[in-house]
Amino acid sequence: MASKLSLLTALLGLANAQRPGSTPEVHPKLITSRCTLKDGCKPATNYIVLDSLAHPLHQKGNNFNCGDWGQAANATACPDVESCRDNCIMEGIPDYSKHAVTTSGSDLKITMFNDDGNFISPRVYLLDETEHKYEMLHLTGQEFTFEVDARKLPCGMNSALYLSEMEAEGGKSDINPGGAYYGTGYCDAQCFTTPFINGVGNLDGKGSCCNEMDIWEANSRATHVAPHTCNKPGVYLCEGEECTSTGVCDKPGCGWNPYRVNITDYYGNSDDFKVDTSRSPITVITQFPADPATGKLKAIKRMYVQDGKLIKAHEVDMPGLPKTNVMDDEFCAATGAEHYLRLGGTVGMGESLSRGMVLAMSIWWDEGGNMKWLDSIESGAGPCNATEGAPSFITTVEKNPEVTYSNLRWGDIGSTFQAGCAVKRRRGLSSN
């Protein structure tokens, strides 16, 4: 993502602790689907876990935390990694609704504030049916599809659904016994410093880096797709120049946004647009086609279905850019995504997708920059002015911004959607 600092500093400003406490952790259930051309889509059971930063943290015997966002682990509690494990206690979350996260059948709803009006801005991950490992998605040569309700996402909001090359067990070990069950192990291409990386005390203040595929960063006014490559597989601990914009990961990414190629009638919040976010649901399809000769990722393609009709990807037709309806290395080179190409480009992104990535979903706003990179006239990314993305203004438009992701499904290209025949939604099942 272009900026996650506002989101992550909102997550209590705490570090993920190492030793589970006595409060139980209860994961909401989410029904998803796996799809093939031969057999169609079959339901599967998954669970949702909040990022470890959202879990209550305290030092053993007191209420002090074990470190602050952007810094190394607390030196008093964590003189060494074993002491971090013994001194830092992470409690479970028995009721996710108090953290602005609810599920019902195949629907996942996340909001900026909980029912008590407390600011939350949650980020969650998809667990597998065991609840002790993340669901690992292998999407090279596949497609990923979901429905989204973006009606309560004004300018300045970002509902994000993306992939991160985290470890399946969240770095679970003797030092980090909680692991994925407690939402540990986060990393992304921004290489942020956190007090713990993969659940181990970050004594030297290194950055936590990994490949990142932003499938959906959007509000009701603008949308953005962006792969971010790293030249290191898996979770990598950077230091010094490695953590900068010219280091081991591509921070800006290669972006796909219709506004940035002067297509202003494709996506928006009225029936003047091909994709109309004022009506729900919108089916979002992202394809990752592979070269049949090599098996390597060759492009990324976005389509939609609404009212039973397939809405094809917008066609780029702008001086200096290739005429295309897919994101590939030619398009990325023409749009100046030099770091993306330097660090592996489309093939490199595909290698990460083949190794397996974890699905993350969040809702956030940008306290410092008003999300102008995503949706503003100023940046050429959307129709929003320079100030309406300010959080103080957002809440005058929408008191409690929210997003609902539904019917998450993935599988063979062409198997997850049908124009004219929507996949049946599964509602009313237990959320526990």
Q: In angstroms, rounded to a whole number, what is the distance separating the alpha carbons of residues 308 and 419?
A: 5
Residue tagged active-site, from 25, 135, 169, 212? 212
- What lies within 8 Å, CB to CB, of 368 at 6+ separation is 5, 6
Q: In angstroms, rounded to a whole number, what is the distance separating the alpha carbons of residues 370 and 368?
A: 6
Bridge partner residues of 256 (DSSP): 225
Q: In angstroms, rounded to a whole number, what is the distance separating the alpha carbons of residues 91 and 18?
A: 10
- Tokens 């990535």 -> residue: 357
> Is 217 tagged catalytic?
yes
Tokens representing 168?
Answer: 């399946």
- What lies within 8 Å, CB to CB, of 230 at 6+ separation is 165, 189, 209, 210, 211, 236, 248, 249, 250, 343, 344, 352
Write the burial class of residue 42 (CB in 10 Å: 0-12 exposed, 13-18 middle, 19+ buried).
Answer: exposed
Q: What is the amino acid identity at position 381?
A: A
- What lies within 8 Å, CB to CB, of 377 at 6+ separation is 383, 384, 385, 386
Tokens representing 206?
Answer: 């290194």
Residue tagged active-site, from 135, 167, 217, 402? 217
8 A C-beta contact, residue 14 and residue 91:
no
DSSP run (H or E) holding 19: strand 19-20
First to last CA, the chain: 30
> Is 212 tagged catalytic?
yes
Q: In angstroms, rounded to a whole number, what is the distance separating the alpha carbons of residues 293 and 226?
A: 25
User: 275-276 and 267-268 as β-strands: parallel, antiparallel, unpaired?
Assistant: parallel
Tokens representing 353?
Answer: 């997708």
Question: Which sequence positions are flagged as catalytic?
Answer: 212, 217
